[in-house]
Structure 1
Amino acid sequence: MYKNIVTRWLPLRLISRENYSQFFELKTKSSVERQIKRNFSYSIVCCKKRRSAEEKVLESTGKRPAIRYPPKAGSEVVGIWRNMTVKDIASVVNKDVGHILQALEFADKSSEINYNKDTVIHNPQIIRDVLKICGHRYKIVPNPDKEVEVDENKDAVPSPPSPPEALKPRPPVVCVMGHVDHGKTTLLDALRDTSVVDQEFGGITQHIGAFEVKLPSGDKVTFLDTPGHAAFTSMRSRGARATDVVVLVVAADDGVMEQTVESIRMAKEANVPILVAINKIDKPGVNIERTMRSLAQHGVICEALGGDVQAIPVSALKKKNLETLVEALTLQAQLMELKADPGGYVEGVVIEALLDPRSGKQATVLVQRGTLRRGCVIVAGTGWAKVRVLTTAEGQSVQEAPPSTPVSVLGWRELPAAGDQVLEVNSEKRANEVMKWRHNQRMKERQAADLQIIEAKEAAHKAEYHAARAKKRAMGRYKLRPEGPRQKMIQEDTHPTLSVIVKGDVDGSVEAILDILETYDDHDRVRLDLVHFGVGPVTPNDIEIAEAFKAVIYAFNVDSPPQVNVEAKRKNIPIKKYNIIYKLVDDVKDEISVRIPKRQEEEIIGEANVLQQFMVTEGKRKVPVAGSRCMKGSLARNALYRIIRNQDLIYDGKLASMKHLKEEVTTIKRDMECGLRFEDTTLELQPGDTIVCYKLVDASDRTNWDPGF
């Protein structure tokens, strides 16, 4: 009886060699020992680690408890959690409280706790032992009676406003905005004695720039140079939100243009004061008053017309009246009493982000509060950095950046996006915590969006199912025929598609290109798919994606390594490099137009008049033949023919025979007579009928997509 019990579950340390014979009469001591060691080494190991409940009872009372079998593999699995009460355990194992109290006597014999149904068991090992005694397996689950806690917001947030005594004066941040080619960059070059405009591709600004200018008075002003091209709306909007004053540059010869109106709207939405610089006054025949009246029509009333907006006529090219413009800026800044707290945690905004082939990930940050120093840990959007290097727009390394200072930051683990808010945190651990929380929030938002799509597809599927079921019921005993073989159920998408991959030098340029591609609305003829985008040069990963999707790679102001070019050429993947955005868009339009299916057009070859109809014998039957003369162009044997009588079409088809002087020919030239026999032998021709010879040719269409510039 005790044979299986001892050899299966009784720990080896509880069996002395002197007591082997009293348990087993039919086996020797050595055979029992071998059997225990061979089959139940787990019990030996467990006994070496800790004494079992049976051993405790045996040593304390001298009585052996009832032998308990551990739960088998097929036993019921119940859920347990921390700090369970006796009543909770009884409910999960479906036993009464008395049964659990008896099990606790063996599981926690050495404890002095007097258990009752409301006693909380803090030791999770005791709970597990009770489950084993009751013959159940277990799994860890959350407490069902405890309300699910809402995830604590672990995101980084701006600090509370600083007290007035901590605020110090700061330089103004001025954003220069206006229409393309109105002289914004030339004006800034004149203020800081540089020649940035000579380095711009196509003569237009395609990046947002941030730099500091020291005025002759000793004051500093931070300028933001925004692109004026229609493609860079997001950059202009971002500059308007990060500035204190907007300098609206208007060319005196062009006046108010489309992007000028857009800049006025953005400045008003950001609640930023406007200062107008009427540029190009050195050109002959300009009318400054007319420009002011045009501005007044859009809500910008200058002081000369009785308003409160300063308007300074300047010539950036001749550097005329620049001192007056600087004085107006200084006066506007003094009136605004701009102040910020240079202490405390850093706050700012990402002006631009890029991936430099030499220095790696870097982002231009405009500090708005606090002082950014080397070693600071900052977070912005989906990226964070421990600041390693701070450089100015001129390339000089600095140790710190006070408020209103734009600096390029190196040390990013992940590159942020332009426009992201920059916040300083205590440590790298805190930065990782913020990134994890933001990632989880993005996943939840994506899941919510996917759920809406899934629900819409489920609703469509249910509607289709109910319609099919109603049709089946209406047919009665007749069954619906299958629509076709199962192989035809999965059909290949043959719709013309242009797949593109966009790589740019900075995040703002990629953003502008993506904004343009989103305006595409000719999907009925050719579908435009953006399969990948990013900042930095073309990589082997881009080549693999392009190969999978048969995509075209557009590289804007970035290069591709030689080995990548070789791999792309080997796989026949086009890499198109551009440094002017509208030329890139034109190429996309050309690629779309190439993929538009060809349509057939009629091309008139010639015309002929019917002179008389003849009946000729062919075999045993008579067929009509039209005696005709070619009046225009020529007639071809393999072309198509249309017969018109009194402006009515009576035949449209092919020829069966074309003869000239009883000889079969392939072409009849102008003013030649011929006999034409058509495939329709029942056709009756009359003198004066017009025969039109034509052919079908493939014609290409252009996309009607208009990106707005």
Structure 2
Amino acid sequence: MTMAALAEAMNKDVDHVVDALLHTSVALDSLEPDTVLEEQLIKEVVRRSGMKFRWAALSGVKERPDKDARRSPPADPSNLKPRPPVVTIMGHVDHGKTTLLDSLRRSQVVSTEAGGITQHIGAFLVQLPSGERITFLDTPGHAAFSAMRARGANATDIIILVVAAEDGVMDQTVESIQHARQAKVPIIVAVNKCDKPQADAQKVKRELLAHDVVCEEFGGDVQAIHVSGLKGDNLLALSEATVALAEVLDLKAEPSGPVEGLVIESRASRGKGPVTTAIIQRGTLRRGSVLVAGTCWAKVRFLFNENGQAVTEAGPSSAVEVVGWKDLPSAGDTILEVESEQRAREVVDWRSYEEEQQKLQEDRRAIELKHTLHLEQYRKQKAELEHLSWRQRRVALYRANKNAFAVRPSERTQSDELRLPLIVKGDVDGSVEAILNVLNSYDAQQQCLLEVLHFGVGDISERDVNMADTFTGSVYGFNVGANKAVQQMAAKRGVPLRLHAVIYRLIDELKAELSSKLPPLVSENVVGEAMVLALFEISVGKKKVPVAGCRVQKGRLDRRMKFRMSRGQDTVWEGSLVALKHHKDDVQTVNAGMECGLSADGGVLFSPGDVIVCFEEVAVPQVTSWDPGF
């Protein structure tokens, strides 16, 4: 092994290894951190360091068992049956997506969303008057939920792009178009809020042309339907357009065989445990089925539809809540059915092993990169010290690189006042993901260091409060609660619990807390201004003191405040006054229009025409410059 690797294994620096080799036969001049040491020298260094070594066989590469869950082979065309289309409602925030869906299924979803905006993916099966069934996904429009919109696009057959006729194409509208294009999903445009006086549907269609969305009236193949989600106008035409496009796509799936699906959302439910919202893409999911998603597995105990009613099975294109997971899978994970619990455990063990190996490789590459950077620095310094003897060179290098080869976590030397440790808890996996994505936009060069100590799904626990108390941090919760015992514990320890149901309010409070950590800025408030008219001296004991005869032109001069003297464009003095007189009287203030005599500290040489400014310093609260786009 190399000297650097040996030093790392012993938790020492490279110079410690050099010291241990001083009285051996090895030529010290030839030693560098990347020098490979023979077995005997390694043993000698370990012994001289007061350590012991032991022999161990190299761990062999674990062979992949032929037991991993994989997607089933393509279905036999004769077994395929028509399935309902999965349609995603996408668009800019507050353009009426949820209200439109609410009108389609005659319920009150929009009233249940905090702040009137959708903050999760809602999955619902809608029965149309014609008898056709459509599974709708309602995705958030807010900028923070980009990953959730992308997930919705990847799970869908058709995207209904909702654009408000009064606002036109906006940021999340463009982003939704990009998600649809990347997922290669056809679009139907729903020009919403056409009942408003400011509505201009033609302007919306023209704006869409700039983003390669060409409606039928302009010679394209994208259907555009004018609707009003609030009043329910023209929704039948939108439904018929969706059914017609689904028929063209000829959507089919195999209702038998192993289940395949996609985790749309996951959350921890009190009483149910880990729960996922899933779209079934193949097969029929039933109670008792054994599923694998990522590094989690489940034996299905209950299935619930969008109305919270228990169902016994869910076929292709169904949106269903699955209860029975041992752990919480991540949103976006593929769901695959396996034949037994034993098989599920084997699959999860293998996937966990693969993740561990990948992490080890990433850690190894990071260590190698760090050693490479240090070696370049080491060689450069060594070349600069070639004229010294090897012993002088080693001492110089030791002083310059004392900790260069020790791989340790990076440390930031900021005071506790400029750190904000956070614990983030959310009701579902997607909410936590969205918040962390927002926090990732925080610039590391900001004055206050933002640290996420822990994040997870579920209500605030005593463990969260303990951790926040240990690191003097805050707990932020999104759509979660904290029981009375946790609240009392947090209040007793002074741990802030910041619970919100609307994401932009959570971020606003986080920005306010970051700003409160920053030191105040000092602002100068000009109180008065005077001009030097004449110079004279007075005797103070045996000492002559220069005095400036001035006239106050603006405001007032206050002896207790600070002063600055300017000569032309240059500031030649700044400080305090020794004396301020009006005629022969010592005074504290002199107002505009009055004449006075003043002497300054530091033996300042006044000159007629100099301008003297009186000012006070005011502390102004500093506001963080972080802009997450809210």
The whole-number CA distance in structure 1 between the counterparts of 2:83 and 2:246 is 10
Aligned twin of 1:698: 619
**Separation in 2, partners of 1:507, 1:248:** 25
- Between 165-174 and 605-614, the greater mean CA deviation after superposition: 605-614
Q: Report the Cα distance in structure 1 between the residues aligned to 2:110 and 2:350, rounded to whole angstroms.
A: 43
The CA distance in 1 between the partners of 2:566 and 2:202, in whole Å, is 67
- Asked whether 1:528 is paired with 2:462, we answer no
What is residue 521 of structure 2 aligned with on the other side? 599
Alignment of 1:674-685 (within 5 A): 674-681=596-603, 683-685=604-606
C-alpha displacement of 1:570: 1.3
- Structure 2 counterpart of 1:504, from 416, 423, 426: 426
TM-superposed CA distance for 1:260, in Å, is 1.4
Measured against aligned partners, the alpha-carbon deviations of 1:540-577 in whole angstroms (never above 9, x if no partner) come to 11112212222211111111111111111111111101
Q: Which residue of 2 aligns with 1:494?
A: 415
Take 2:198 and 2:414, find their aligned partners in 1: how far apart are those partners? 60
Structure 1 partner of 2:222: 309
Distance in structure 2 (CA, Å) of the matches to 1:657 and 1:480: 57
CA displacement, residues 193-252 of structure 1 (integer Å, 9 cap, x when unaligned): 101112221111111100111111222111111111121111111111101111111222
Q: Which amino acid aligns with 2:594?
A: M
Give the whole-Å Cα distance in 1 for the aligned partners of 2:83 and 2:397.
Answer: 79
Matched AA of 1:341:
E
User: Which residue of structure 2 aligns with residue 375 of structure 1?
Assistant: 288
Q: Is the Cα–Cα contact under 8 Å of residues 538 and 545 in structure 2 kept in the other structure? A: yes
Q: Find 2:257's aligned residue among 341, 344, 358.
A: 344
Q: In the alignment, is residue 217 of structure 1 matched against residue 130 of structure 2?
A: yes
Asked if the contact 1:505–1:535 (Cα under 8 Å) also holds between the matched residues in 2, the reply is: yes
Contact 1:247–1:277 under 8 Å retained in 2:
yes
Q: How does 1:389-400 map to 2 (within 5 A)?
A: 389-400=302-313
CA distance in 2, matches of 1:395, 1:161: 33
Deviations 1:40-71 (A, max 9, x none): xxxxxxxxxxxxxxxxxxxxxxxxxxxxxxxx
The residue matched to 1:634 in structure 2 has which SS?
strand
Deviation at 1:492, TM superposition (A): 5.2
Matched residue, 1:331:
244
Q: Which residue is 1:650 aligned to? A: 572
Give the Cα separation in 2 of the matches to 1:678 and 1:216. Answer: 90
The 2-side partners of 1:509 and 1:149 are apart by: 36
Residue 295 (structure 1) aligned to one of 202, 208, 212: 208
Q: SS in structure 1 opposite 2:279?
A: strand
Q: Secondary structure at the match of 2:576?
A: strand
Kept in 2, the 8 Å contact 1:382–1:415? The answer is no
Change (3 A) 1:688 1:296: closer
Q: 1:668 to 1:142 in 2, by over 3 A?
A: closer
Rounded to whole Å, the distance in 2 between the matches of 1:149 and 1:359 is 36
The answer for the alignment partner of 2:546 in structure 1 is: 624
Q: Do the aligned residues in 2 keep the contact of 1:642 with 1:653 (CA within 8 Å)?
A: yes
SS at match of 2:180: helix
Q: How far did residue 346 of structure 1 move?
A: 0.6
What is aligned with 1:459? 372
- Corresponding residue pairs, total: 565
Cα deviation, residue 483, structure 1 = 7.7
**Residues 382, 397 of structure 2: 8 Å contact kept:** no
SS in structure 1 at match of 2:447: coil
Identity %: 49
CA shift at 1:678, angstroms?
1.5
Alignment of 1:473-488 (within 5 A): 473-474=386-387
Unaligned runs of 5+ in 2: 1-53, 403-410
What is the CA distance between 1:416 and its match in structure 2? Answer: 0.7
Tell me the SS of whatever aligns to 1:344: coil
Kindly indicate whether residue 176 of structure 2 is the aligned counterpart of residue 254 of structure 1.
Answer: no
Q: What is the CA–CA distance in structure 1 between the aligned matches of 2:245 and 2:167, rounded to whole Å?
A: 27
Distance in 2 (alpha carbons) for counterparts of 1:378 and 1:569: 42
Q: Displacement, 1:301?
A: 1.6
The yes-or-no answer on 1:666 pairing with 2:588 is yes
CA contact (8 A) 2:378 2:397 kept: no
Aligned counterparts of 1:501 and 1:445: Cα–Cα separation in 2: 27
Q: Call closer, same or farther: CA 1:295–1:602 in 2, change over 3 Å.
A: same
Aligned to 2:628: 707
CA distance in 1: counterparts of 2:68 and 2:512, whole angstroms: 45
Determine which of 529, 541, 557 is the counterpart of 1:635.
557
One-letter amino acid of the counterpart of residue 329, structure 2: P
Q: Who is 2:109 aligned against?
A: 196
Counterpart Cα distance in 2 of 1:689 and 1:301: 70
Is 1:246–1:273's contact at 8 Å kept on the other side of the alignment? Answer: yes
Q: Is the 8 A contact 2:64 2:350 kept in 1?
A: no
Deviation at 1:472, TM superposition (A): 5.1
Q: Conserved in 2, the CA contact under 8 Å of 1:522 and 1:705?
A: no
Change (3 A) 1:148 1:582: closer
1:459 Cα deviation from its structure 2 partner:
2.8
- Provide closer, same or farther for how the CA distance between residues 629 and 239 of structure 1 changes in structure 2, counting only shifts above 3 A: same
1:282 and 1:288 mapped to 2: Cα distance? 11
* 1:646-684 alpha-carbon deviations (Å, 9 max, x no partner): 333332232222334444433333333332112233x33
Pairing 1:537–2:459 present: yes
Larger Rg: 1
Q: Per-residue deviation at 1:338?
A: 1.2
Encode CA deviations 1:241-279: one digit per residue, 9 max, x unaligned.
101111111222222222112111111211111112222
Amino acid at match of 1:649: T
CA offsets 1:468-491 (integer angstroms, 9 cap, x no match)? 54555556679769989x9xxx99
**What is the Cα deviation at residue 529 of structure 1?**
1.5
Q: TM-score, normalised by structure 1?
A: 0.75
Residues 166 and 200 in structure 2, CA contact (< 8 A), matched pair in contact too: yes
**CA 1:563 to 1:329, structure 2 compared with 1: closer, same or farther past 3 Å?**
same
Aligned in 2, Cα 1:631/1:260: closer, same or farther, shift over 3 Å?
same
Pairing 1:166–2:87 present: no
Q: Does 1:573 align with 2:495?
A: yes
- For residue 362 of structure 2, the aligned residue among 429, 449, 470 is 449
In structure 2, relative to structure 1, the CA distance for the partners of 1:285 and 1:694 (3 Å cut) is closer
What letter corresponds to residue 632 of structure 1 in structure 2? K
Give 1:138-287 correspondences, 5 Å limit: 150-152=63-65, 154-287=67-200
**Structure 1 residues 331 and 661, CA gap change in structure 2 (3 angstroms):** same
User: For 1:326, what is the secondary structure of its paired residue?
Assistant: helix
Shift in CA distance, 657/315, structure 1 to aligned 2, threshold 3 Å: same
Q: Which amino acid aligns with 2:436?
A: L
Q: How does 1:4-19 map to 2 (within 5 A)?
A: none
The separation in 1 between residues aligned to 2:537 and 2:279, in whole angstroms, is 93
User: In the aligned structure 2, how far is the partner of 1:142 from the partner of 1:638?
Assistant: 77
User: CA–CA distance in 1 between the matches of 2:497 and 2:66?
Assistant: 44
Q: In structure 2, do the counterparts of structure 1 residues 522 and 606 end up closer, same or farther at CA, with 3 Å as the change threshold?
A: farther
